[in-house]
Amino acid sequence: MIATQLLLPKISYFSILPEICLIVGALVMLAMTSVTRNRITSKVYTGITVLAGIASIGFSIKNYHDVLRSGAHLVIDKVLAIDGFSVLAAILVSACVIIAAFLTQNFVDRENWSGPEIFALMLLAGSGAQFMAAANDLIMIFLGLEIMSISLYVLAALDTKRIQSGEAALKYLVLGGFASAIFIYGSAFVYGSTGTTNLGQIASFFATSYYTHNGLLIIGMVLVIAGLGFKVAAVPFHVWSPDVYQGAPSPSVTLMSSIAKIGGFAALLRILMTALVSYKADWQPIIYILAVASLLVGAFGGLVQSNVKRMLAYSAINHSGFILLGLVAATQVGVSASFVYLIAYSFIATGVFSVVTILGSKGDQNHDIRNYRGLAKKHPYLILGFAVLLFGQAGIPGTVGFIAKLSVFEALARSGGPGAYSLVVVAIVSSVISAVYYLRVVIACYSKPDEEMIIPDRLFSSSLSPISPIQKADGDIGQEHEGVTLLVEDKVENLKTEDVDTQDFRVGIGSSIAVILTSGIVVVLGIFPNLIIDLANHATFIF
């Protein structure tokens, strides 16, 4: 009988302490709830979440110093990469989780929620995004993707008092399940072509082999891009985002718009620029099409929205197009530019949804742009921060959004690839168009409640004119035109809620911290852009 020895990989726990901190924080909160009879306040959960995030940042900084001193290295049987890119992405994820925790405390108190679920899921989603950013293997990317995605599915469904939350979670779950299946199916094709799922070994295979029959690889590559395209809400994989953004609780959307994009784009950048860099002539046209479609759909789609959360969903789609511009360049400068944009957008999106969460009032439903009119008079400092963040989204000079857009434009122009300059023109036009709906929100906040807006709430409205329900008998409503019926019902609903003060809310300390932090970062990094550019230049891959 021949004895066999099971060889287990050596696990370097110190290298993955940033992820462990977030997971342990979630487990501690769940254990506390299980062993105590007394109700634990949201301040305790917020404190644990913030401490876990700070600890994660601390260990990430230690890893960063190790990378600067000893260079990038692979751990745990070469499935995780500890390099500038993964470390900085981990810091960014932890920062977004910390800011979201401050915001969530006021939200759960306002909505009378109890329990650690939302905080624990935030930490677990963050750990999944960090694993995705560090993954050097397709299987590891999939595991991180599922940790992040499942947490976000549940976060979308947490508001059990609103049917829209359940609908949003169901749509997100079904479409997300398909996207995960597509990604793992594509990974199987790549494995069938190369015999490995390790990104470094895939790159070495193409560097040392003359591979002529690449049909199987191309199919796998397309499927992998499609699977991750869903997570970053790139067109045409964006159809879930407007409905999910509108229906999910606002703190959950804060994470969807920040850490989900960090994890998705980090994995996409690492796969294409390490494992499949030899085939960039094949995937560049695909990314080019996705970028153009995302830029245009995100810009024009936001113009016709009157719900601010849906509008910001199309804004997220538009920004995905800008981040993809660095991938179209397919250079190290392009990767750095995409990372600059990812950092900038993560803080801006977190800040914007922090304000939106505050303005939602009790019930998290008052997100029609008409409810934002006159808010600057009652809450001047909050709306000032909101305006700064929206200007950052528009790319106004003096904000980090301007630096981010300039970076991807420069990287794309310097690449000199086919269609690079035409894509820059499309991106600039898209930026101008999208600035209209950011400006519309700012104008609404600074206008009087009964004042007609310079830019209408909805630029493209129906040709049918709303009529008063008094003009028709109750029995006649709905007998002529379905469109008129809907307009009448909307008007009746508005009459029912007319006396409700949707602007009567309290800005808590946690929410104030979230808005001050994000708006301050947007301005500081806009004035001192070298801070963010130098960091992005250190985000190098293992080749």
What is d(CA 177, CA 442) in angstroms, rounded to the nearest whole number?
37
What Cα–Cα distance (Å) separates residue 245 from each residue in 151, 277, 435?
15, 34, 20
pLDDT digits (tens, 9 = 90+) for 382-416: 889 999 999 999 989 989 999 999 999 988 888 77
129: number of CA atoms within 13 Å, CB side? 34
Is residue 62 very low, low, confident or very high in pLDDT (cuts 50, 70, 90)?
very high
**pTM, whole model, 2 decimals?**
0.85
What mean pLDDT comes out for the span 516-543? 82
Q: Taking 70 as the threshold, does the pLDDT of residue 502 lie above it?
A: no
What is d(CA 365, CA 30) in angstroms, rounded to the nearest whole number?
29
Q: Which amino acid is at 437?
A: Y
399 forms bridges with which residues in the sheet?
Answer: none
What is d(CA 428, CA 450) in angstroms, rounded to the nearest whole number?
34
Is the pLDDT higher at 50 or at 362?
Answer: 50
Q: What is the pLDDT of residue 478?
A: 40
Alpha-carbon dihedral angle through residues 253, 286, 409, 312, given to the nearest 10 degrees: -20
pLDDT digits (tens, 9 = 90+) for 155-167: 998 888 888 888 8
DSSP string over 98-150: HHHHHHHHHHHHHTT--SSHHHHHHHHHHHHHHHHHHB-BHHHHHHHHHHHHH
Is residue 492 very low, low, confident or very high in pLDDT (cuts 50, 70, 90)?
very low
Q: Taking 90 as the threshold, does the pLDDT of residue 18 lie above it?
A: yes
pLDDT digits (tens, 9 = 90+) for 202-212: 888 887 766 55
pLDDT digits (tens, 9 = 90+) for 415-442: 776 678 888 899 999 999 999 989 999 9
